């Protein structure tokens, strides 16, 4: 009698473990992997667009290139809103604590940490985009020659002295030399600042991508067991 009961219990446990494993496999195949594939496509598109912005900054002869680039940013943001919305809504579709770091990483990549706390409650994928919004704002500061905010767009540093600002601007000018035969000296400085801001944003973008990738790898490992 006891043996029969133990056998039945063992069978039930095996069935439960098998069911859970099947559910994890379905979750991975039908949800997690497709979301990550969509996310990678969005990331590749952002890298391509920022490469275009770099080329524009370096090569355009348009005297109002800052306003032209800002208009391009707004247009790209508008026409890619559907992709952002799709990824965010896919990521939010599963209400599962196991997926938390993966979902949060994707949403922070797209919208920024301030917009996803609590997760998903304040996301507006059609309105803003973390990377383009940051570049748009810094371009405005460059146009106005607000050098403190150009050098420190997040306001993380104490106010710089005029000498410190000059040193930082000279560093940027040296790091991103612009052909003086094609642009005026002041415009060359603005372009160097724009290139520096663009590189900083792309580095942060790649760092956030790596965090999403790490969360995906860990999640994939846990769901494959």
- Profile the chain (225 residues) by mean pLDDT over runs of 10 residues: 46 47 75 85 91 93 92 87 74 67 83 46 55 91 94 86 93 86 80 95 94 91 80
pLDDT of residue 29: 82
Query: Closest Cα partner for 79 from 132, 136, 142?
Result: 132
Alpha carbons 59 and 9: distance in angstroms, whole number: 73
Q: Long-range contacts: 121-124, Cβ < 8 Å, 24+?
A: 123/88
Q: What pLDDT does 123 receive?
A: 47
Closest CA to 184 of 97, 61, 81, 27: 61
pLDDT at position 10: 43
Quote the DSSP letter at residue 106.
Answer: H
Residues 6+ apart with CB under 8 A from 188: 173, 178, 180
User: Rounded to an integer, what distance in angstroms lies between the CA atom of residue 153 and that of residue 16?
Assistant: 53
- Identify which of 135, 109, 112 has the alpha carbon closest to the alpha carbon of residue 122: 112
Considering only the C-alpha atoms of the chain, give the largest distance between any 2 of them, rounded to a whole number of Å.
96
Q: Please state, in angstroms and rounded to a whole number, the distance separating the CA atoms of residues 89 and 74.
A: 22
């Amino acid at each position: 009698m006891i043996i029969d009961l133990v056998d039945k219990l063992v069978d039930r446990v095996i069935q439960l473990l098998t069911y859970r494993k099947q559910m994890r496999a379905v979750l991975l195949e039908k949800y997690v992997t497709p979301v990550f594939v969509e996310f990678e496509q969005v990331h590749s598109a952002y890298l391509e667009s920022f490469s275009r912005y770099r080329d524009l900054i370096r090569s355009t002869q348009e005297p109002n290139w800052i306003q032209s680039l800002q208009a391009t940013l707004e247009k790209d943001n508008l026409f890619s809103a559907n992709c952002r919305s799709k990824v965010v809504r896919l990521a939010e579709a599963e209400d599962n604590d196991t997926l938390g770091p993966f979902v949060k990483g994707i949403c922070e990549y797209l919208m920024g940490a301030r917009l996803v706390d609590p997760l998903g409650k304040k996301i507006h994928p059609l309105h803003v985009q973390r990377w383009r919004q940051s570049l748009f704002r810094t371009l405005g500061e460059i146009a106005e020659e607000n050098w403190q905010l150009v050098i420190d767009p997040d306001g993380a540093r104490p106010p710089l002295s005029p000498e410190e600002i000059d040193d930082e601007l000279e560093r940027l000018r040296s790091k991103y030399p612009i052909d003086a035969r094609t642009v005026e000296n002041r415009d060359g400085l603005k372009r160097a600042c724009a290139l520096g801001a663009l590189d900083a944003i792309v580095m942060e973008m790649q760092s956030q991508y790596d965090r999403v990738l790490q969360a995906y790898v860990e999640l994939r490992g846990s769901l494959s067991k």
